Chains A and B, each alone.
Chain A
């Protein structure tokens, strides 16, 4: 079984400042890792995924995350946030099965 811990429940940040959302996981098997974003009153959108290969993965809108196996982490970063990045962010982990384990979520609020 896998589990995920998101270390920050709320992250307030000013526009154009950097942000880091921390995610740690536990698993006894090889894992696939994800970051999903949920904007207010919407469903979940896949932001990033690590399946294999390069440990640094990037999204088209400036987010990146790095898989660190030794520290069992998959932290999400963005060097400069926008107001539109205000959302709930979920880290998730799965093995090669149907069950996706979510973290509790991190609320990012970007202020001008």
Chain B
């Protein structure tokens, strides 16, 4: 299995809603990432988990709350979002960078397209 699976593919939510994005991989990767991508722009790193611990938070607003329940799963909990948070949210995974050359090559999921009304 060489895939990263993201659900849902599309999500529409109001500014007062609470929702979650889910990501799953079964490649044995120990690093998992959330990226945000606006239209016609490159992805922007939000969070990195390494060995199920939060390793990097790129100063993301607290209305985004990541969670890594185990080595295969990564969630992004959403609460009180703003319309400008509408974007494609990409999950990715890799081996831990410290384990060898090319270990940090990322495999991306297909993304969850979020629309905040």
- A and B part of one assembly: yes
**Which residue numbers of A lie inside 8 Å of B, CB to CB?**
32, 34, 36, 41-46, 49, 51-52, 88, 90, 94, 96-100, 102-105, 107
Whether the Cβ atoms of A49 and B102 lie closer than 8 Å is yes
- Looking across the interface, which residue of chain B has its beta carbon closest to that of A30? B101
**Which residue numbers of B lie inside 8 Å of A, CB to CB?**
6, 31, 33, 40-43, 45, 48, 50, 55-56, 88, 90, 97-98, 101-111, 113
Q: Which residues of B sit under 8 angstroms from A32, Cβ to Cβ? A: 101-102, 104-105
Selected from A36, A94, A103, the residue in CB contact (under 8 A) with B104 is A94
Whether the Cβ atoms of B42 and A98 lie closer than 8 Å is no
Selected from B6, B43, B110, the residue in CB contact (under 8 A) with A102 is B43
- Looking across the interface, which residue of chain A has its beta carbon closest to that of B109? A43
Q: Which residues of B sit under 8 angstroms from A96, Cβ to Cβ? A: 97-98, 101, 103-104
Whether the Cβ atoms of A42 and B97 lie closer than 8 Å is no
Whether the Cβ atoms of B90 and A97 lie closer than 8 Å is no
Provided the pairs A100-B106, A105-B40 are in contact, do residues A42 and B98 lie with their beta carbons within 8 angstroms? no
* Complex CA–CA separation, A34 to B104 (angstroms): 11
- Looking across the interface, which residue of chain A has its beta carbon closest to that of B99? A96
Q: Which residues of A sit under 8 angstroms from B40, Cβ to Cβ? A: 88, 105, 107
Whether the Cβ atoms of B55 and A46 lie closer than 8 Å is no
* Complex CA–CA separation, A97 to B42 (angstroms): 19
* Complex CA–CA separation, A44 to B102 (angstroms): 18
Whether the Cβ atoms of A98 and B102 lie closer than 8 Å is no
